[in-house]
């Protein structure tokens, strides 16, 4: 451990904290990453592994462009993670499909993507609405109920557990300190800058602090004058036995992993902090998957789990630096796999620069302060 304190202490070693810390360590900063014990809420261990762009950013085109930039930067991240003793998260970007099971679903996709294309204007937004024949060219396994779909070249996927492992191994390789069992229960801004963090493993001092603690961020933010209104959203995933390569494109809710398993997912339920698995949710998830790809019915399910997304009221990320205590940042989002490359390669620089760029101001939490009309 560094006796004279760290340049930056990152609170939370999930995908968001891990990615930011990795970017900082790569840039030569002395970094500590503080984490809780194994058993906690940790979305980074329970997610679906999509690097997804299609459809994101309705009402906030900056988010559409931010997500797309990350899917591009992911190639660099994936490559970089194999250095410093890390390992490849096996990112591929074959383009993603959303399958439509009715004409209503298809026209909703059409108007959503047309709206996004309009909203981003000159930045451009490629997609293709697929008719029944074209969707079968891309995904021959589609069943008779699939009437069409939408394709985006920006969508890909990765192995999210290898991403976690790759970030942690790279952090170690770069000399960053990872402290598990170091739950932060107080942040004390120091006179003249810097922060003392009180943890179960003693007090840790950093010049700057990045709060990337998932569901812990709300309480931690309040300690440095940052409003972080996050809430849990339950998502459940069903995994089958492994098979030979069968799906050439990830789809929203059904994908084949680099190791051959089929993943079905994308439930969205409000269940507070309950992470349990409900059989009826698994049934609904599997039911839709089999309507899209009937061949999946022959596969055995080997695992299911539930995990909690870290959601904001409008679903967009929160990136902010405390006005009251400059040097204290909060980063949180519900698509930490997709945005991992941005967090590692871009957002980490904001911390070093001590400034979040003007173009990112729309992600500050003061957007939630707007009073409700009477």
Partner 1 sequence: MFRRLPDPTGTIAFDFEGTTFEACEGDSVAAALLANGVLGFRTTPASGAPRGPWCLIGNCHECLVEIDGEPNRQACMVEARAGMQVRRQHGARVIPR
Ligand X SMILES: Cc1cc2nc3c(=O)[nH]c(=O)nc-3n(C[C@H](O)[C@H](O)[C@H](O)COP(=O)(O)OP(=O)(O)OC[C@H]3O[C@@H](n4cnc5c(N)ncnc54)[C@H](O)[C@@H]3O)c2cc1C
Contacts to partner 1 by CB under 8 A: 141, 241-244, 246, 260, 295-296, 298-300, 302
**53 versus 158: smaller Cβ distance to partner 1:** 158
Listed as own residue / partner, the contacts of 275-281 with beta carbons closer than 8 Å and 24 or more positions apart are 275/41, 275/46, 275/234, 275/305, 275/306, 275/307, 275/308, 276/306, 277/236, 277/304, 277/305, 277/306, 278/236, 278/306, 281/236
**84 versus 261: smaller Cβ distance to partner 1:** 261
**222 versus 302: smaller Cβ distance to partner 1:** 302
Of ligand X, partner 1, none, which one sits near residue 243, judging by CB under 5 to 8 A according to partner kind?
Answer: partner 1
**258 versus 284: smaller Cβ distance to partner 1:** 258
**26 versus 309: smaller Cβ distance to ligand X:** 309
Query: CA 345, 346, 348, 352 torsion: positive or negative?
Result: positive
Shortest Cβ distance from residue 216 to ligand X (Å)? 2
Give me the torsion for CA of 154, 78, 47, 23, rounded to 10°.
-110
Cα Rg, the chain, nearest whole Å: 21
Contacts of 279 (CB under 8 A, 6+ apart): none
Binding site for ligand X (CB under 6 A): 11-17, 34-36, 40-44, 46-50, 52, 183-184, 212-214, 216, 220, 235, 237, 265, 307-310, 332-338
Q: Which residue has the tokens 């309507």?
A: 291
Which CA distances in Å does 140 have to 45, 137, 186, 189, 231? 31, 6, 55, 58, 39
Shortest Cβ distance from residue 175 to partner 1 (Å)? 33
Q: CB count, 10 Å around CB of 239?
A: 17
Of ligand X, partner 1, none, which one sits near residue 296, judging by CB under 5 to 8 A according to partner kind?
Answer: partner 1
Of partner 1, ligand X, none, which one sits near residue 184, judging by CB under 5 to 8 A according to partner kind?
Answer: ligand X
CB 41 within 8 A of CB 273: yes
**2 versus 198: smaller Cβ distance to ligand X:** 198
Shortest Cβ distance from residue 45 to ligand X (Å)? 7
Shortest Cβ distance from residue 133 to ligand X (Å)? 28
Of partner 1, ligand X, none, which one sits near residue 13, judging by CB under 5 to 8 A according to partner kind?
Answer: ligand X
Of ligand X, partner 1, none, which one sits near residue 280, judging by CB under 5 to 8 A according to partner kind?
Answer: none
**147 versus 223: smaller Cβ distance to ligand X:** 223
Of partner 1, ligand X, none, which one sits near residue 308, judging by CB under 5 to 8 A according to partner kind?
Answer: ligand X
Which CA distances in Å does 242 have to 172, 250, 290, 356, 368? 32, 16, 16, 43, 44
Of partner 1, ligand X, none, which one sits near residue 302, judging by CB under 5 to 8 A according to partner kind?
Answer: partner 1
Shortest Cβ distance from residue 350 to ligand X (Å)? 16
Cα angle 220, 222, 223; round to 5: 70
Of ligand X, partner 1, none, which one sits near residue 300, judging by CB under 5 to 8 A according to partner kind?
Answer: partner 1
**26 versus 168: smaller Cβ distance to ligand X:** 168
């Amino acid at each position: 451990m560094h006796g004279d304190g760290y340049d930056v202490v990152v609170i939370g070693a999930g995908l968001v904290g891990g990615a930011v810390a990795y970017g900082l360590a790569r840039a030569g900063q002395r970094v500590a990453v503080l984490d809780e014990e194994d058993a906690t809420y940790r979305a980074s261990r329970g997610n679906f592994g999509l690097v997804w762009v299609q459809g994101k950013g309705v009402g906030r085109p900056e988010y559409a462009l931010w997500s797309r930039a990350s899917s591009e930067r992911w190639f660099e991240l994936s490559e970089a993670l194999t250095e410093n003793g890390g390992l490849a998260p096996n990112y591929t970007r074959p383009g993603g499909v959303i399958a439509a099971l009715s004409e209503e679903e298809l026209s909703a996709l059409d108007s959503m993507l047309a709206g996004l294309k309009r909203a981003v204007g000159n930045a451009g937004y490629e997609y293709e609405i697929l008719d029944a024949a074209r969707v079968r060219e891309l995904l021959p396994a589609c069943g008779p109920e699939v009437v069409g779909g939408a394709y985006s070249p920006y969508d890909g996927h990765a192995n999210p557990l290898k991403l976690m492992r790759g970030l942690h191994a790279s952090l170690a390789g770069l000399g960053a300190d990872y402290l598990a069992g170091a739950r932060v229960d107080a942040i004390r801004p120091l006179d003249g800058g810097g922060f003392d963090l009180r943890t179960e493993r003693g007090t840790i001092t950093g010049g700057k602090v990045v709060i990337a603690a998932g569901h812990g961020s709300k309480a931690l933010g309040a300690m440095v004058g940052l409003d972080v209104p996050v809430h849990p959203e339950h998502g459940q995933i069903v995994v089958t036995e492994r098979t030979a390569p069968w799906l050439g494109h990830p789809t929203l809710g059904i994908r084949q992993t680099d190791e051959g398993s089929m993943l079905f997912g994308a439930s969205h339920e409000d269940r507070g902090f309950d992470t349990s698995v409900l059989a009826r949710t698994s049934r609904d998830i599997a039911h839709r998957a089999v309507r899209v790809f009937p061949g999946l019915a022959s596969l055995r399910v080997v695992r299911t789990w539930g995990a909690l997304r870290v959601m904001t009221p409008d679903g967009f990320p929160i990136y902010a630096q405390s006005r009251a205590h400059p040097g204290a940042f909060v980063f949180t989002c519900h698509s930490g796999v997709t945005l991992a490359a941005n967090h590692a390669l871009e957002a980490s620089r904001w911390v070093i620069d001590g400034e979040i760029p003007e173009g990112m101001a729309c992600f500050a939490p003061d957007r939630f302060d707007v009073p409700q009309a009477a």
